[in-house]
Amino acid sequence: MTDLIQRPDMPDGTDGVLDAPIEQHSLWKIRLALFRRSLKANWKLFSSNNVGLAGLVIIGLWAIAAIMPTIFFATGFWSNSVYNPVSGLERNPQTAIVTLVEEKTDPLTEIDRRDMLLDQRIPQDLQIGETFERPLQPAPPDSRHWLGTDPLGRDVMSQLMHGARAAFGLGALAATVTVLIATIVGSVSAYFGGAVDSFFMRLADLLIMIPALAVLIVLGAIIRFELWHLALVIGLLGGFGGVAIVLKSQALAVKVKPFIDAARVAGGSHTHIIFSHLVPNVMPLSFLYMMFTVTGAIQAEATLSFLGLLNVRTSWGLMINLANTEGYLLQGDEYWWLVFPAGMAVTLLAAAFFLVGRAMDEVINPRLRRR
Amino acid sequence: MSKPLLEVDRLVMNYKTEAGYVSAIEDVSFTLHAGESLGLVGESGCGKTSIAMSLLRLLADNAEFLSGEIRLEGTDLLALTEEQMRQRRWSDISMVFQGAMNAWNPVYRVGDQIREAMDLHFRPRLSTKESNDRIERLFNLVGLSPRMAERYPHEFSGGMRQRAIIAMALSCDPKVIIADEPTTALDVIVQDQILQELKKIQAELGMSIIYISHDIAVIAEVTDTIGVMYAGKLVEIGPTTEVFARPRHPYAFLLLSSTPSVTGPRRKLAPLEGEPPNLLDPPPGCRFHPRCPWATEKCRTDVPISEDIGGGHLVACWNWEQVPEIGTMIK
Amino acid sequence: MVRYFTRRLVQMVVLFLVFITLTWFLLYALPGDIVAQKFATNPNLPPEARQIAIDRLGLDKPIHLQFADYMVNFFQGDLGSSFNQYPRPVTDIIGERLPRTIVLFLTALVTYYWAGFIAGKYLAWRRGKRGEIAITVGGVGLFTVFYPWFALIAIWFFAAEMGWLPISKFLDPSKWRQAPFAANEVFMRLFWTVALTSALLFAVQIIASKVRDVRLHRLVRWGGTAAVIVGFFVYWFAVPAGVEMRLYAADIARHMILPVGVLTAVNFAGIMLLTRSSMLETMSEDFILTARAKGLSEKDVRDKHAARTALLPVTTSLVLAVATVLDGGIITETVFSWPGMGEILVSSVTSEDIPVAVAAFSFIGVLALVGHFVVDMLYGVLDPRIRVSGSQ
């Protein structure tokens, strides 16, 4: 593994800053230039990986999808009363002609007596063989609702887009917390060693052993679990857990390099050495683990809201939960718009972050590259 | 003179890459007699390891033999099927690898890894007792305690691993051993011990050894013949003493002039300027001409032909007569 | 190895004590916790009832005494009574459910670890050939798939659409009305026969690997395997004790296929991808070249050298996988209404049955710790650098 700054395969600088005498520029300017230079080199490596690029494109598309509702509502393309993901309702739903039969075989065109008794909108004096124009809820996709409506008459596409927003917010927060904690814990453990190191590493051992979902479920019982709570818990579990171990081993590799000794000889304080020398060199790996954390966070959020343990209003997990509890899931071929978009959304976005992470891994870890 | 054991005859090999063909071995010929030792020297990337791997036919998938033959006791190894070749590996040609550290699989006992080779090549199979005896003899031969065979590679020091590698290379009574940088990773004293050990074993068992090294001084002591390679070509080959005393190819001359001699007379060191050529697009004519102080117009267009200048000393250079005696100043 | 073993064992015990302490304080002792809300401060309960609950649960004692009581009881095997199925002891509930979870967990773990390793091995060997990208992308898809959704889709397809397998639950009640056996009895019999069979199969492989003679090796390996499998069928089809239970056992087994299959499929991909990259790293090692030079066939180079060494990092990853599989198990049990520890954890948490929740959580923790310990030992056996020197 290499650090950002010392790449041998960097193209020659195109930045004037680096070619000019050093004392003319402040330190941050030089750092910025170095950073930009290595970014360029790394991008070249990254973009040669098609699968990683595909992941990036998927993330981009979902990001656009997450922004779209704001534009749609602001421009009046979507009205809040119809397209609100929580309270919206299609008042003029599609209708379908249904026939009352003794034993139904096709739920879209036939109903039996039980359905009739359960649904107040159906005239209760219907006879066998008679037809009736039933409002569809859930309704299949049409020009107004591109992905149809859910059992409560809400727009599936709007829910999907708002779900993306939740996923991004959660993922970003969880990943930031994880990496922030893990970088500091890893660097500090590696730098000081001894008791500090032992303490953090035993803690990490404990955390990677505990099934995170079980913890989240139990925590869900104690507190009203909000999205940001979840992000925080995931961040803490990951940050003090597995990610800290990985970043520590990277920090250990950096610690033995001569420039750390040089900084120490020059009289740098512990804090200075950790934050200006150790942390920046652990950064590339941190970014990588941010990607993997996002994957995990998206999955955890969807799972918890699927189990009904998360206090959220729109979420992909919740959409699947609704389809499942209302019994549409076992008719997945007829009600595909309730079953597939949300599930695919979770899978796609999680996979996209994972793929980007894998591609970054190949950039950072040359041993994995194709020879 | 008896029939040669190994003949490499006008071997040409390319690596196929995305950027094009890399001409790794270009028209290389040499012969090796039973009990002889040959050294191949050159800068890294000059094709010496490719030659070693060609002898075992263990090149990467993208390697292509364009022409030439490798004859072992008259059989062309390149014409064998993969299965036939597999049976010849180690029993006919074995190898002492560079970087002994990683040549051992960390999860198996050293003795078992040696036994694995013997189980493949001895027919009928040796019994456990026979193979144990054999490993014991081999370990004694290379100066290791036979008890070490029961240990794992991580329990060996670097020098011990290299000795064990030699024991493994000897395990199936090969006719030829290729020693690819056998001592590069070791400290100087162990280097010398290992080389002396190899020389002694060769005298005892009478097999042929091909030494491969980037350091001409290291193998000069233990070889009968030395070949100098440059950019995929064998530019000079001859008796070691002869090549050392009177290198005739400009590259060999500059290579020897750039290494200080501890025991010989003081002399001016001549730097070797420039870089080895890109083998994706080797220079026309003599491949050394861009760096050669004696290059003429002919060198830029015509590929030099190997010429015997007496006593089995072959040089591939148009102007070998221009090259001064070693130790003389140039320029 | 013994030193390594004892040190790990002590570590596990300490970790377990820490774990159970944290769990208890989290669920019982936080100010305004659920137990207090439910009984001690619940205005809807009549004062006498409130008093009885306080006395029985010891809620008026200082916290450290309550904790001491719990710990003493815990190690005496008394976990209290369930709130919702009062007065059923929690140990009874756990005792019934733990084997069901262990079976799910073990079957899935062993199957996916083995299958993923084999698949990864071939994938790495085929690097750059056709189909590699498709398998990799498929693997990533399976690895990152939204698990509950995937399980539901599997139910929809295999059970609802095709009708091949039961939709959910542990058994089909209509078949069990006349049953002369308790479900648990049959289940445990099934469990022990399968466990014994697997142990014997494993033993046969170990014994065979010690035999150096080629023909005898083959005889021991395949003959032994066949004998063990035949023995398993003889028990269920010819021995009266097995025959009378067979139909019921088959019903339980049928209900297991889908949950185990789904749990295996999802985790399989992770091991496959990991084995692949681990193999790719191993294949560039020098000792692979040594093995080839020795004249080993490609198959032996791959299986005996590359794969054997690539197994080490894959086994390390099992440490993490133990927790992941348990997580997956919780979801699986919930989605399939499989009456195990995960299902009881979710349902007790949502219905605020705290004694059951604490116990379920603790035992999931125990499973994780034991799994972790076993994997550590396995790693020690596989890697001579640990086995021989005893250090990490």
What is the reported pLDDT for A4? 40
The answer, yes or no, to whether residue A126 has pLDDT greater than 80, is no
What is the reported pLDDT for A353? 92
* Contact (CB<8Å) A331/C26: no
The answer, yes or no, to whether residue A371 has pLDDT greater than 60, is no
Average confidence (pLDDT) over B314-324: 86
pLDDT in tens, B134-190: 999 999 888 889 998 989 988 888 888 888 998 999 898 899 999 888 877 677 788
* Amino acid of residue C336: F
Tell whether C308 is within 8 A of chain B (Cβ).
Answer: yes
DSSP-derived 3-state class of residue C5: helix
* Contact (CB<8Å) C289/B105: no
* Contact (CB<8Å) C284/A295: no
Within 10 angstroms of residue C153's Cβ, the number of other Cβ atoms is: 18
What is the reported pLDDT for C223? 92
Tell whether B16 is within 8 A of chain C (Cβ).
Answer: no
Rounded to 5 degrees, what angle do the CA atoms A47, A50, A54 make?
Answer: 100
φ/ψ of C120, rounded to 5, equals: -60, -35
Q: Which of B239, B191, B223, B227 is nearest to B51 (CA)?
A: B227
Residues in chain C: 392
pLDDT in tens, C161-191: 777 888 777 777 777 777 777 778 888 888 8
* Contact (CB<8Å) A51/C148: no
Q: In sequence order, what are the residues at sequence separation of 6 or more whose Cβ sits closer than 8 angstroms to the Cβ of residue A235? A: A173, A174, A175, A176, A177, A178, A180, A181, A293
What is the reported pLDDT for A1? 37
In this prediction, residue A349 has a pLDDT band, given cuts at 50, 70 and 90, of very high
> What does pLDDT average to over chain B?
85
Tell whether C327 is within 8 A of chain A (Cβ).
Answer: yes
Whole-number Å distance between alpha carbons of B101 and B103: 6
Tell whether C305 is within 8 A of chain B (Cβ).
Answer: yes
Chain B contact set for C296 (CB, 8 A): 86, 116, 120
In this prediction, residue B329 has a pLDDT band, given cuts at 50, 70 and 90, of very low
pLDDT in tens, B17-31: 888 888 889 889 999
Average confidence (pLDDT) over C43-51: 73
**Structure pTM?**
0.79
* Contact (CB<8Å) C147/A212: no
Q: In sequence order, what are the residues at sequence separation of 6 or more whose Cβ sits closer than 8 angstroms to the Cβ of residue A160? A: A65, A147, A316, A319, A341, A342, A345
CA B284 to chain centre: 26
Check: CB of residue B114 under 8 Å from CB of residue B104.
no
Check: CB of residue C28 under 8 Å from CB of residue C64.
no
Shortest Cα–Cα distance, C391 to chain A (Å): 16
Average confidence (pLDDT) over B191-215: 87
User: Is B184 exposed, middle or buried (CB count within 10 Å of its CB: 0-12, 13-18, 19+)?
Assistant: middle
In this prediction, residue A10 has a pLDDT band, given cuts at 50, 70 and 90, of very low
In this prediction, residue A219 has a pLDDT band, given cuts at 50, 70 and 90, of confident
In this prediction, residue A45 has a pLDDT band, given cuts at 50, 70 and 90, of confident
pLDDT in tens, C335-359: 888 888 888 888 888 887 888 888 8
Chain C contact set for A213 (CB, 8 A): 326-327, 330-331
Q: Residues of B123-136 as b/e, b for ≥16 C-beta within 10 angstroms?
A: eeebeeeebbebbb
What is the reported pLDDT for A16? 47
Average confidence (pLDDT) over A79-83: 79
Whole-Å CA distances, B222 to A41, B41, B241:
47, 13, 11
Average confidence (pLDDT) over A193-218: 85
The answer, yes or no, to whether residue A12 has pLDDT greater than 70, is no
Among C140, C327, C357, select the one facing A213 at the smallest CB separation: C327
Whole-Å CA distances, A96 to A93, A104, A134, A334, C60:
10, 15, 5, 14, 63
In this prediction, residue A35 has a pLDDT band, given cuts at 50, 70 and 90, of confident
Whole-number Å distance between alpha carbons of C161 and C185: 32
Q: Which two tokens stand for residue C243?
A: 């025959």
* Helical residues (DSSP H) of B142-175, grouped into ranges: 158-170
What is the reported pLDDT for A226? 84
* Contact (CB<8Å) B97/C384: no
What is the reported pLDDT for A13? 41
Chain B contact set for C295 (CB, 8 A): 86-91, 117, 120-121
Chain C contact set for A370 (CB, 8 A): 128
Q: In sequence order, what are the residues at sequence separation of 6 or more whose Cβ sits closer than 8 angstroms to the Cβ of residue C350? A: A221, A308, A309
Tell whether C285 is within 8 A of chain B (Cβ).
Answer: yes
pLDDT in tens, B183-198: 776 777 888 888 888 8
In this prediction, residue A9 has a pLDDT band, given cuts at 50, 70 and 90, of very low
> What does pLDDT average to over chain A?
81
Percent of chain B with pLDDT over 70: 93
Among C296, C309, C382, select the one facing B120 at the smallest CB separation: C296
**DSSP run (H or E) holding B199:** helix B188-205
DSSP string spanning B56-122? HT---TTEEEEEEEEEETTEEGGGS-HHHHHHHBTTTEEEE-S-HHHHS-TTS-HHHHHHHHHHHH-
Whole-number Å distance between alpha carbons of A315 and A312: 7
The answer, yes or no, to whether residue A3 has pLDDT greater than 50, is no
- Partners of C275 in the beta sheet? none
Average confidence (pLDDT) over B195-211: 88
Whole-number Å distance between alpha carbons of A361 and A45: 11
More confidently predicted of A117 and A323: A323
Shortest Cα–Cα distance, A345 to chain C (Å): 9
The answer, yes or no, to whether residue A14 has pLDDT greater than 70, is no
In this prediction, residue B325 has a pLDDT band, given cuts at 50, 70 and 90, of confident
Tell whether A284 is within 8 A of chain C (Cβ).
Answer: no
Shortest Cα–Cα distance, B2 to chain C (Å): 28
Phi-psi region of B36 (alpha: psi -120 to 50; beta: other; left: phi over 0): beta
* Lowest-pLDDT choice from B72-76, B205-209, C316-320: C316-320
Chain C contact set for B109 (CB, 8 A): 384
- Half-sphere CA count of B295, side-chain side, radius 13 A: 18
Shortest Cα–Cα distance, A19 to chain C (Å): 38
**DSSP run (H or E) holding A282:** helix A279-306
pLDDT in tens, C86-118: 778 888 888 888 888 888 888 888 888 888 898
Tell whether C297 is within 8 A of chain B (Cβ).
Answer: yes
* Contact (CB<8Å) C287/B102: yes
Q: Which two tokens stand for residue C93?
A: 């509930």
Among B89, B101, B106, select the one facing C309 at the smallest CB separation: B106
User: Is B274 exposed, middle or buried (CB count within 10 Å of its CB: 0-12, 13-18, 19+)?
Assistant: exposed
Among residues 11-30 of chain C, which lie with CB inside 8 Å of chain A?
11, 15, 18-19, 23, 26-27, 30
Average confidence (pLDDT) over A50-72: 89
The answer, yes or no, to whether residue B315 has pLDDT greater than 50, is yes
**DSSP run (H or E) holding B25:** strand B20-32
